[in-house]
A and B are shown apart, each in its own frame.
Chain A
Amino acid sequence: MSGGDIAAIFQGAIVTVTLSLIGILIGLPIGLGLALLRWANVPVLARIVALYVSVSRATPLVTLLLLLFFALPNIGVPVSPTSAAVLALVMNTSAFNCEVWRSALANFPKDQYEAAQSVGMRAGLRFRRIVLPQIVRVSLPGLVNEMSMLIKATPALAVVGVVDITRAAVRIGAQTYKPLPPFLVAIALYVPIVFVLVSLQRWIERRQLAAKVAA
């Protein structure tokens, strides 16, 4: 395995991280928006969101990606591999985020909300100043968990030709007839990225548990 090969896998790492970040950053607010639609029980829309979430949670990223990549051009929407990848990641992660946000909203203490009403806060202010800060706290471990799940799902992007870490490693293995070294490099790249998130999640959970015990 040459230095160029290692550089190629690092190139893949940039793709993996960039696409994951874009997916996470777009998926987070969309997930929250979907959760709010369900929380407020907006007629029809809440139902549609529920169905969307249920189906998306059951759909493998590979399958969703193939669907988008091949079917969108079919109905006249041209897509590049990258845009199909981003769209699939966002659809996938927003469904999971929606569930995390929704359960935080569902367990939000009613008296908190009423206290905000009783001091005359209007809906927008109430949400921004009272509800959001608290549900962010509760949702954080679940959201971080979903981020690491998203990163672990990104090798699916290879089916439409995106060259991420895994794809780059497989390619080099096939060219050099020595598949193990590039796989080891790939592991060495994934482990720190995901381990940071896993540790972050554990740290948040432990801190919140300690805060609860102290209270």
Chain B
Amino acid sequence: MIHDFGIVWSERALLLSGFANTAILSALSAVVALLLGCILTPALMSKHQAVSGAARVFVDGMRCVPFLLLAYIVYYGLPSLGIRFDNWTSGLAALIIYNAAYMAEILRGAWVVQPREPIEAGVAFGFSEIKLFRRIILPPLLLSAGPVLGNQMIQIVKDSAFLTIIAIPELTHAASSIQSRHYVPFAAFITAVFLYWGLCLVIEAGVSSVGRVAEARR
């Protein structure tokens, strides 16, 4: 057993590059998905039926489909429409599109339980729509939804593992390579599990520091 971990250690460069890829994929898609979510949220809450309806269909659609299916559609399905991406671009695009819907839904959930008066004060003080959202509505949303957004970021990390199936060299892919090369399944995958765990602990630490900032601003 110790010997097996020795083998994994000798392949640490491969494992670390997989880990780095997972971290980069996750971080990049978390940031972009959150930004897109911020844009999508006012659409969900829009007074215009057409806008809110379209946003709702997109968000509910994403919430009803497995991530891997979306990734397949982007990677294998779109080329038959003449749109072709490499596996990296497909994976990243799928992660972003998919999770933007979840981020938007989380922010919407936080929005509907916000007290109405401060937002109304923004209107009374002459903030017009876009600025009202950006400066008055959004900041408290991001703070109060912090923990749930953090959970979603953990979900992104886990979704990124699916991308091993379209051969993106992320962490699970690296562990698989090591296992098939040396036949050390337990050592290889358990190491990957603990690396995932570490990544999530970092996210949780980030969330709790946002939580401290939010605490003062309730």
Contact = CB atoms under 8 A, between A and B. Distances in A.
A50 to B, nearest CB: 13
A58 B196 contact: yes
A73 B76 CA distance: 34
Contacts, number: 130
Interface residues of A, number: 42
Interface string B168-199: 00011001100100000110011011101101
A173 interface: yes
Interface pairs A-B: 5 shortest CB-CB: A60-B161, A70-B185, A58-B200, A67-B189, A71-B186
B164 interface: yes
B73 interface: yes
Contacts of B60: 195, 198
Interface of A: 54-55, 57-64, 66-67, 70-71, 74-75, 148, 151-156, 158-159, 165-166, 169-170, 173-174, 178-180, 183, 186-187, 190-191, 194-195, 198
Contacts of A154: 66
- Overall SS of chain A's interface: helix
B186 A180 contact: no
A66 B176 contact: yes
A61 to B, nearest CB: 7
Given A62-B172, A155-B68, A194-B65, 17 more contacts: A57-B154, A58-B154, A58-B158, A58-B193, A58-B200, A60-B160, A60-B196, A63-B172, A66-B175, A70-B185, A70-B186, A70-B189, A71-B189, A190-B64, A190-B65, A190-B66, A195-B60
A151 B64 CA distance: 10
Given A58-B157, A58-B196, A178-B80, A166 B66 contact: yes
Given A58-B154, A71-B185, A194-B63, A183 B72 contact: yes
